[in-house]
Structure 1
Amino acid sequence: MSGTSYDAVDAAACDLDHRPEDGVLRLTPLGMVSEPYPADLRTDLAQALPPAPTALADVCRLDTRIGRAFGRLAVRADRELCRGRAELVASHGQTVYHWVADGQVHGTLQLGEPAWIAEATGHPVVSGFRTRDVAAGGQGAPLVSLIDLMLLRGRPGVPAALNIGGIANVTVVPPQADPVAFDTGPGNALIDAAVHELSGGRLAFDEDGALAAAGRVHEGLLRRLLTEPYYRLPAPRTTGKELFHQGYLRSHLGEFRQLPPQDLVATLTRLTARTVADALRPLGATEVFASGGGVRNPTLTAMLRAELAGTRLRTSEELGLPAAAKEAYAFAVLGYLTLHGLPGNAPGCTGAAGPRLLGSITPGRRPLRLPAPPPTAPHSLSVQADGRC
C-alpha cells in the first residue's frame, strides 16, 4: 500500500490462521519492505492530485506506473519475507481522490491496476476495498477500524487506536457502547505541505520534528485553523488531501504569511495534536495506541501527550504490530477476509448499511479456487511472535 503521504510503497507479509472454534484470527508478522516511489512518479502523482486539473491520459499512465511499482515490491516481499511461498496479495492502491460532499462520500478512487501485480507475482490479488463500503452508504474509511476492533475488544477502560498518516484517524472502543471511528483531520498533510514549500521542494517532511521543535506555536494562526468546519462534523466522517492540501494552507495564512518557518511548522504540528485530542476527549479514551509515519515525529508525539493530558499514549508495537506497518498488516487481513467470503467493514464505524464483502479478486497464473467460507467470522485478532528467522 501507499498512504496519503504518497512518499513510498510498503509491503508487509504475514501468516494468517483462522480457527472458527475459538473465533480468533492469528497473525504472525513476517516483516515489511518499503521502497520510495521513483522521483519522477512521485512528482507526476503530486501534480495530478486535487486541486490540480488532471487529464485522463495522466490517470491512465499513473494507474499503470503505480501498479508496476506495487508489483515490483510485492515480488520482493514474496522473495525476501515469504521465501517464495506467498499465496495472496492484498493491494490498497494509491488513493488519488475521495469524493465527499455534504458529509457524504459519493465515490473514491485508488490507482495501481492489480493486473500488473498479479502478472508480476503470479498470485491472486484482492484490491478495490473501499468502493463497496461507499456503495453501501459508508464513508469507505477508516476500513482499518475492523482490525482495530479485533485488536482492542476486551481491553480495560476505553481503548483507542490512532493512525497518523497524511490524514489522522481514530477508532474508539467503549465497553458498553458502539465503537466509533473517523478521520480527525490532517495528520502530516499540512506539515508536509509547509515543509515542502518552505524548502523550495528540497524537503518532503519535518525530519525528527526538528523544525517544529525549534519554533513557537502562534496561537492566533492556530485559532484560525481550528475554525475549519470539518472538525465539527459528526462521526462517521472522512477527509483527505482534497481538503487539506498546499492551497488550503496558503488560503488560511492571511496576515500570518511572514511567520518564521519554524513557527509555522510548530503551529501546524500543534494543530494535528490538538484536533486528535479534541476528537478523542469527548469519547473518554483511556489509552491510545498510535501508528503511522507521525509516530516517528517526536515533537508531534510530545505535543500529543500534552494535549491528551493524562491519557496514556502508546504505540501499536505494544499490540504486536510495528507502527510503520500496521495499516499494511490490516489490509492483509482484509484481503484474507475477502478471499474467504467474509465481510471486511465495520458498519457502525464507516456508516455503511451493513457488513459487506470488500473488493475484487484478480486471478494469478493458476485457476482461481476460493476456499469455502468458514461458519463464523473471526471476532478477535491475536498477533503471534514474529515469524522471521
Structure 2
Amino acid sequence: MNLKCLAISLATTLTCGICTAQTSQTAVSDDFKPSTVNQPGQEYPQVNSQGYARFRIKAPQADSIRVSLGLGGKGGTRLKKEEDGFFTGTTEGPMDEGFHYYHLTIDGGVFNDPGALNFYGSTRWESGIEIPAHDQDFYAVKEVPHGNVQQILFPSKSTNTARRAFVYTPPGYGNDKSKRYPVLYLQHGWGEDETAWSNQGHANLIMDNLIAEGKIKPFIIVMTYGMTNEVKFGGMKNFKIEPFQTVLTEELVPFIDANFHTLADKAHRAMAGLSMGGMETHTITLNKPEVFDSYALLSGGLYSPAEFAGKAKPKLIFISCGSKENPTGVNKAATALKDAGFNAVSFVSENTAHEFLTWRRSLHELAPLLFKN
C-alpha cells in the first residue's frame, strides 16, 4: 500500500474529515436544531438543514475561541465574544453530511466542547457533531430486533496483556445453541480505537436494519484495537504489522472461535478496515490467506492482481472510498481484479471524503455481499 497516500488520507481525518464549501451566497436558514450527539439537555452545538453548524460557549474569562470545524480563516471557525460572556458563531459554509470530530482552541489551549459528546479519534477524546444525512435511515434506531455489542477481554501472550475487543452479536444470538455464525473482523482507523465502529460508525444499527429487512444473513462482528506499538502521525512508515497480526490471527481469532458460536473456518471469516485499518487488512490478508476468505478496504488502499500470485483467490474483494478521495483509483483497481478473474466490487460514496459517512455507507454495501453461499 502507498503510505504517502495513506498519510494524506489520515491528515484529512485529523482535520475533522470535512470538506467545507466556499462562503455561500445563499441566506443561512434559521432552522437550527441541537446536534443528535450533544450531551443530554444541551442546546449547542446546533446544525441546520443546509449543513451549517452553530456554536455557543460560555467562557467569560477567555479572549478568543476557535472551533476546528469550517473555514473561518486558519484553523476553523472563530467565535465572537458577546457581552454576556458567551462566544457564538456559525461555520462560514455547509459541511459534508455525517459525523465529524472537532475541538475548541481557547486562548491557545485545546479543549472539548462541553455541549457535545466525546468520541475517541485523533488519538484523544474529541467532541463530535452529526450533520444529518439525506440517507441516514439505514443507520437510524428503528423498532426492529436489536443485536448486542459487548466488551470482552482476551489474553494476549505476545503482548503480555489482556486486550480488549467489542463483539456485535445479531438479534436472537444464543437462542438456538446449535446455530453458528460467520465472523467479520472490522478494524478502525489511525488515532481511533475499538469503540469507533459502534460509536461513530453505528455498525450495530446498520446490521440490525439490514437483518430486519432480510438483506443479509446474520453474522458476528469483532472490533479490536489495531495498534501494538504507538505510532505518531507522520510515522506510519515505522509501523510494524507483525505484532498486531499475531494478536489478531493467533490470539483473538482462536479466542472468538472458542467462546462464541462461530463457523470456525476460512470460508466464514472476513476482514475489513477503514483507513489504517484498511492498510492492516491489506497486509494481513495477503500474509495469512488461510485465515480469511473475504477482504474489504474502506478508504484504505487497493489490491492488485499481482499481489495474489501463487495464492488462492479470495471469495470477495471489496474496495471503497468517498467521491472526494480516490474514486478513479478504486474503480480501476476493481476492474483490473475482475479482468483477472476475481470477484471484486467497488463502491464510491457520493459527496463524502475521508469520514465516517463514507465508511457507514461502505459497510452497508459490503454486508450483503459477505458470506453468500
Relative CO higher for 1 or 2, CA cutoff 8 Å, sep ≥ 6? 1
TM-score by length of 2: 0.30
Work out which of the two has the higher radius of gyration on C-alpha atoms and give 1 or 2. Answer: 2
Larger strand share, 1 or 2? 2
